[in-house]
Structure 1
Amino acid sequence: MLVSTFVLLSSLALAPLVSAWPFSLQAVKGGGKGNGGGKGRRDTPIAPKVFIIDMFDDEGSSWFGIPEFNVLEQNITVPGFSPLFPQAHCTQDGNICQLVTGEAEINAASTITALVHSPKFNLTQTYFLIAGIAGISPKLGTLGSVTFARFGVQVALQYEFDAREKPANFPTGYVPQGSFAPDQFPQELYGTEVFEVNEDLRQFAIQMAKTGKLFDDAQSQQYRANYASNPAFAAGAAPPSVVACDTATSDVFWTGNLLGEAFENTTKLFTNGTATYCTTQQEDNGTLEALMRGALSGLVDFSRIIIMRTASDFDRPFPGQSAATNLFLMSPGFEISIQNIPAAGVPIVTSILSQWGQRFERGLKPSNYIGDIFGSLGGKPDFGPGSLFGGKPATLPKRSLRSRMRRGAIRV
């Protein structure tokens, strides 16, 4: 988790358990009955309508014991999941499932890859809710705020100078790969720099989240008041709310005005000025790349992803506070950020289920581009150099294909 930083997933209706792959089960925190059987028993894949993706234990357990649904009725061990979080959890009917990836990009990508390719699940119609906590810019939100992103930007995928050795005229030690200054678009792309998800689904999620009652507490109220003296931080001093803004992914847990401003600029630069930096977290681009590859394999629908992050701390100090104090104080809004995951997320999950036949089974067709910076799913990205595949979906070549952009040209 990047507390200076931080998926709603769904699928098909649960098919009756008959014959497929054997798997072991164990109860978790008093979890339910499980669905394992005797030796050699085979069951059909579970087809969730919604799959909730959390990143560490407190996020995961925020869904346990809620009155609306019980995800501990089936506890399913999945090969390839984190050894700390080896199970997916599902309701008895299989309509809602949930997992914990483990923190940072490698854990997220590894767990979601294992999920996508597990024969225990059919995810072709599943909605994914990424549901974690994050750091937040006080320019856009505050402790306890609930944010929904259209863009996930991998801001640390850059060259880096130690700040003591950077060129004197550089405002930051970060330089986009293949470029020669911080304000130049990267001339070398890996493909995971930017993902865009379904804006129509995001707007639905925002409207549903606003029907939930957000938590707040005296500790968070007292702390956020420190930001009131700077008019630019008015949002940071306000009570929690639901915010549409974008998220920055980095394994590096950063803090401070200089890095906050640097990654604000990176977010704008990588998206051709479209995205608005708001939250910081350590997993989302790893999760999105795994889902992207699943979509290319026909195993998931990339238009069914929601990125929700609740704010546990600020990415920069209040006036008069040092960056070190801001960092080492750690998450002053941690408790309410955890509570606000289900507070905002439950209305989304239950609305998808209640409107399944009328609206969500067929999916919400996006009115915007969705996918990665290469245009791998087809269409033309509204950021970056444009589609690497001529606007058509990527196809598997007869030989290995290595793609990079250098000096403004795509090389294959």
Structure 2
Amino acid sequence: MRFVRKKRLGCVLAGAALLALAIQATASAKEPPVPALPAVTPIPVKVIVVANFEPGEDMGDAPGEFQLWAEREKLTEVIPFRGGLQPLRRNADGLYGVRWGSPDSLMGGVAEQLMSLLLDPRFDFTKTYWLFTGISGADPEVASVGSAAWARWVVQGDTLREFDDREVPKDWPYGLFAIGAKAPNKLPDNPDSFAGMTDAGKLNMALKLNPGLARWAFDMTKDTPIPDSPELQKARAAWKGFPNAQRPPFVLMGETLGALRYWHGPSRTQWARDWVKLWTGGQGVFAMTNMESQSLAGTMMIASKQGLVDMNRVLVLRTASNPSTPPPGLTAVESVGDEGPGQLVAYESNYRVGAPVVHELLKNWGRYRDAVPGAAHER
């Protein structure tokens, strides 16, 4: 019995030895390692135009926010990238362009697509000038339909507390107020802890852009002619008591407020004025409301902290397709979504005002690569 066990044990040991020899032989005879792929040298991107939506294709059909850029700047080279529903486009002068909007993005994803582009190893965005463009609702106290506003601030209008306006105290103008505050038009003072983030220093809702660069762009384009139309002239006549709303389309400086909700009406417009003033310390003037600026600005801010982009090179240009509140004599219900002819002129205004800045940056890239323009206007 012991002999049998010893014999079996010997067989096991012999088998293990043979297996070890086989493994050693296989290891010595294995294929040489696969050579590493050569490192990709990122392409330095000079200027990129970022739009938000198109009703169809980028070229050849009814225009949206991007089509005039794609067609007139001949952005014919198509560069797909992971995470983007639409491809990046490029022309022979080195101008890039991209837009996000599609039915899929109604559930979100605008910021995620931008971050996917920023993380693409094929591109170097550290010296890139960014022009974020799009149409907006305009405050009729500040601008007329078709007007174009260069922003000094991007203000976030999503993160707040909200009560039904019919249920607020009688001395409140509306039911929207800052998290950590006790009433509208108050900065957070941390009366109710919200994960330790309800003081004004931590819950900052406004991103200050480079004011010198914005002023430089405004000075270059302030006399740009913007097309007018009989339809717009007729609509402007209704704005008695609002001199800026009755002006033909013009270029101005004014802040953009981004919020995912499409809001409209006198109460919400007053909230927007107050909210922008509150979070910019009285320095900003509400001009344009839209649904994307806050998400894109937040993504850029995160990317800048990682050294992927330079926030001093970011421009935001919004153009008015409609007022944010009805003219005298109409209700909000009667006027909401009434963009009509204003949308087409806003697309045109967007391109005509933005293009001179883009062309200047590309033409004189040797000057602007390492020196951001507008240092004399930094206040």
Q: Would you say same fold, with TM above 0.5?
A: yes
Q: Counterparts in 2 of 1:18-33, with a 5 A limit?
A: none
C-alpha change, 1:60 and 1:42, in structure 2 (3 Å) is farther
Counterpart of 2:82? 79
In structure 2, what is the Cα distance between the partners aligned to 1:172 and 1:56? 31
In structure 1, what is the Cα distance between the partners aligned to 2:289 and 2:41? 38
2:321 is equivalent to residue 318 of structure 1: no
Does the 8 Å CA contact 1:196/1:369 hold for their aligned counterparts?
Answer: no
Q: Counterparts in 2 of 1:129-278, with a 5 A limit?
A: 129-187=131-189, 188=198, 191=203, 193-210=205-222, 212-227=224-239, 229-230=240-241, 233-278=242-287
From 100, 106, 115, the counterpart of 1:113: 115
In structure 2, what is the Cα distance between the partners aligned to 1:222 and 1:41? 63
From 62, 65, 68, the counterpart of 2:68: 62
User: What is the root-mean-square deviation of aligned Cα atoms in Å?
Assistant: 2.3
Q: How far apart are residue 206 of structure 1 and its match?
A: 0.9
Q: How far apart are residue 147 of structure 1 and its match?
A: 0.4
Counterpart of 1:21? none
Counterpart of 2:347? 338
* Percentage identity across paired residues of the two chains: 27
The residue identity in structure 2 corresponding to 1:247 is: T
Deviations 1:283-337 (A, max 9, x none): 1121111111111111111100001001100001111011111104344410100
Counterpart of 1:99? 98
C-alpha change, 1:212 and 1:104, in structure 2 (3 Å) is farther
Deviations 1:71-115 (A, max 9, x none): 12x21111112x3x2x0101135x210111236794331121111
The residue identity in structure 2 corresponding to 1:60 is: F
In structure 1, what is the Cα distance between the partners aligned to 2:248 and 2:288? 17
Partner secondary structure for residue 245 of structure 2: helix
In structure 2, what is the Cα distance between the partners aligned to 1:149 and 1:108? 20
Does the 8 Å CA contact 1:223/1:332 hold for their aligned counterparts?
Answer: no
Q: How far apart are residue 155 of structure 1 and its match?
A: 2.3
Q: How far apart are residue 184 of structure 1 and its match?
A: 1.2
2:315 is equivalent to residue 306 of structure 1: yes
Does the 8 Å CA contact 1:78/1:88 hold for their aligned counterparts?
Answer: yes
2:56 is equivalent to residue 52 of structure 1: no
The residue identity in structure 1 corresponding to 2:44 is: A
Deviations 1:54-84 (A, max 9, x none): 0101111121221xx3212x21111112x3x
Deviations 1:17-53 (A, max 9, x none): xxxxxxxxxxxxxxxxxxxxxxx99964332211101
Q: Give 1 or 2 for the bigger CA radius of gyration.
A: 2
2:257 is equivalent to residue 282 of structure 1: no
In structure 2, what is the Cα distance between the partners aligned to 1:342 and 1:330? 18
Partner secondary structure for residue 303 of structure 1: helix
2:329 is equivalent to residue 293 of structure 1: no
C-alpha change, 1:222 and 1:209, in structure 2 (3 Å) is same
Does the 8 Å CA contact 2:216/2:377 hold for their aligned counterparts?
Answer: no
Deviations 1:179-207 (A, max 9, x none): 11102102426656110011111011112
Does the 8 Å CA contact 1:106/1:286 hold for their aligned counterparts?
Answer: no
Does the 8 Å CA contact 2:40/2:121 hold for their aligned counterparts?
Answer: no
Higher helix share: 2
Q: How far apart are residue 143 of structure 1 and its match?
A: 0.8
Partner secondary structure for residue 360 of structure 2: helix
Partner secondary structure for residue 65 of structure 1: helix
Counterpart of 1:405? none
Does the 8 Å CA contact 2:213/2:378 hold for their aligned counterparts?
Answer: no
Q: Which consecutive residues of structure 1, in runs of 5 or more, have no partner in the other structure?
A: 1-39, 371-412
C-alpha change, 1:152 and 1:368, in structure 2 (3 Å) is farther
In structure 2, what is the Cα distance between the partners aligned to 1:349 and 1:113? 22
Does the 8 Å CA contact 1:303/1:365 hold for their aligned counterparts?
Answer: no
Partner secondary structure for residue 65 of structure 2: helix
Q: TM-score, normalised by structure 1?
A: 0.73
Q: How far apart are residue 212 of structure 1 and its match?
A: 3.5
Q: How many residues align?
A: 321
Q: TM-score, normalised by structure 2?
A: 0.79
Q: Which range moves more in the overlay, 331-340 or 356-365?
A: 356-365
C-alpha change, 1:149 and 1:328, in structure 2 (3 Å) is closer
